Structure 1
Amino acid sequence: MHDSIGIPACFSFGERPTDDPAITRSGRSVFMSVYRTKIAGQCRLITITWCKNLLLHGLSVSVQGQDTDNQYCCKVELKPWYFWRKQGSKHFIVDGKAVNVVWDLKAAKFNGETEPRSDYYVAIACEEEVVLLLGDLKKDAYRKTGCRPALIEPALVSRKEHVFGKKKFSTRVKFHEKGTFHDISIECNNGLVNNSSFGENDQQMEIRIDGHLAIHVKHLQWKFRGNEHIYVNKTRVEVYWDVHNWLFSSGPRHALFIFKPNSSSTSPSSALTPSSPRSSSLASTLLSSQAADSTSGEEYNAGGSSRFCLILYAWKVE
């Protein structure tokens, strides 16, 4: 069974970020996770997409075919009046192998977010193995599918999120799949600078990790693109930003942020240490290349590890 779904264009593998009308018109929050694992005889990318607006929660599952442009997909819409949709299963065929998607979201706690926090599972099974399992009800998932855990553990390649706000934008992320969640907040506002030619229109931006100030950018109208590195629990995280559209465009507009941990680097001293900013041109180039590489899976290596990347689109609304 091939259940097609119109995934937003900005979620297509290998594409650069685009202004997707379906997102900007509806103000829809979108959260996408890309995993790499072995399914139907070869390593493939599995994309889990959660979306949310005023009327429904949506879930879609996409499995990469042999041709990277070919996707096998299924979609679940959790409308309030369709209670049966909150628990069920679907299947489709990937290169001759049956892939089952089984979910239970009856008691899922979203806590106002796009992706559920607890009391749920989404399982993807193929050839009597659960190749990907999300949520905390793992025993229920194995019992329902009747399948064993896969021998190869999925690797999280990237996460991509669209969030909306006026001045402040927040999300939660694990920089490592087995790590703890970290709260990220980004705030842009006018700063008052005494004895400065910038005057009252000086724009400033603050990026906080778990409530701690990690990056403070003054004179944002001159530093609208850039990058710094910080340390979060001794892990070095490269942070890239491009807020040009926030400052110089009209209508619905987004800024782009990339958070990329490097597990091989550790801090010699503090847990949160900003570095000196590098050139804006380098950051601008990496914003494009990181977005393409992480979604295409090119950063996954043969050793079974993935260099994780969080891509955040922060849409400013008036």
Structure 2
Amino acid sequence: MDDAGSNHSLASSSEKQQAEDLQGTKTSQCSVTTVYKAYIAGGARIVTVVWSKTLISHSLSVVIDLKPWRPFWSKKGLKSLELENHRVDVYWDLRSARFSSRPEPAGGYYVALVCDEVVALLLGDSKKEAFKRTKARPSLADATLISRRENVFGRRSFSTRARFGDLKREHEIVVENSISGMAEPEMWISIDGDVVVHVDNLRWKFRGNETVAVERTPVQIFWDVHGWLFGAAVGLGHAVFIFKPSPPETTEASGEDDRQPAAAVVSSSMAPEFCFVLNAWKLE
């Protein structure tokens, strides 16, 4: 087993800086980052959409192939940039957006990326309004959702909702822990109210994976809670959970060979498949 202070912990220098910033501001900023592959300006592009929420505001950011727009603070607008001699426009209308406790709207909005009079990426449920405003036609090649990453904050319980790739509906995900106190720490992961993963003796099993069935589809669940257990000394307190709806290579975690940091799963050189990443920041 790795030593608690080894360099195999999940935290990178950027994550350490993020933790320091969070502690310095004492403001819990929840965020959701979705990554899409879309056909824009004559080629396949990576589009990253970030929804952020603080106690007082929401914001939206869009990045295309590392070319960012500044965050969109107004409820309706249009911004443009040049991409390889092509103009790319992003239209958004959040005036009727319905927000809950999560960073991204639950409905009543649209965000549309338009290039060469084609809507390359369309988010939200107000699609009719988006096409009317942009005066553009739908793309012949649908954008593909590659990954989704969410930051949530809590003490003993962390919850969110997510759709696993092409599966039909959203599912409620709850991660609970009993790290505080004198008892041996444990962890539970529930999907739609059913406990699908229970890890006892968490100090010895802080990294691992199991496979569960969701809508009759195998979903691999990877966890890395090193930061919860051993991160306090270096200013970190977050864990990473990855939900990957793909055929498993192994049926269960067994032995130290399976205890690789969860970040290694995301950066795998395998063919791209959808994964949902949950960063659970533990507040003291």
Using the size of structure 2 for normalisation, the TM-score is 0.87
- What is the aligned partner in structure 2 of residue 103 from structure 1? 92
SS of 1:202's partner is coil
Match of 2:54 in 1: 53
Q: Is contact 1:228–1:278 with CA below 8 Å preserved after alignment?
A: no
Task: State the distance in 2 between where 1:171 and 1:28 align.
Answer: 15
Among 149, 168, 180, the alignment partner of 1:179 is: 168
CA displacement at 1:52 relative to structure 2: 1.0
Match of 2:31 in 1: 30
Give runs of aligned pairs for residues 100-249 of structure 1, distance below 5 A.
Answer: 100-177=89-166, 179-189=168-178, 200-249=182-231
Question: Could you state the TM-score of these two structures normalised by the residue count of structure 1?
Answer: 0.78
Q: C-alpha displacement at 1:23, in angstroms?
A: 4.6
Aligned residues: 265
Shift of 1:17: 7.1
Tell me by how many angstroms 1:248 deviates: 1.7
Deviations 1:48-102 (A, max 9, x none): 00111123211000001xxxxxx22113343xxxxxx101110101111000000
In the alignment, the residues of structure 2 paired with residue 104 and residue 191 of structure 1 have an alpha-carbon distance, to the nearest angstrom, of 44
Q: Residue 171 of structure 1: CA displacement?
A: 1.1
Partners of 1:107 and 1:120 within 8 A in 2: yes
Cα distance in 1 between the residues matched to 2:14 and 2:163 = 22
Counterpart CA distance in 1 for 2:277 and 2:178 is: 22
Q: Of the candidates 46, 70, 74, which is equivalent to residue 69 of structure 2?
A: 74
8 Å contact from structure 2 (residues 179, 229) kept in 1: no
- The separation in 1 between residues aligned to 2:110 and 2:70, in whole angstroms, is 15
**Alpha-carbon distance change, 258 to 16 in structure 1, aligned in 2, over 3 angstroms:** farther
Change (3 A) 1:44 1:137: same
Question: SS at 1:172's partner residue?
Answer: strand
Give the structure 1 partner of residue 8 of structure 2: none
Q: Distance in 2 between matches of 1:45 and 1:219?
A: 40
Which residues of structure 1 form unaligned runs of 5+?
Answer: 1-14, 65-70, 79-84, 193-199, 266-274, 301-306
Residue 106 and residue 280 in structure 1: after superposition, are their counterparts in 2 closer, same or farther (change >3 A)?
farther
User: Aligned pair in 2 of structure 1 residues 22, 103: CA closer, same or farther (>3 Å)?
Assistant: farther
SS of the aligned residue for 2:129 comes to helix
Listed as ranges, the gaps of 5+ residues in structure 2 are 1-11
Shift of 1:121: 0.5
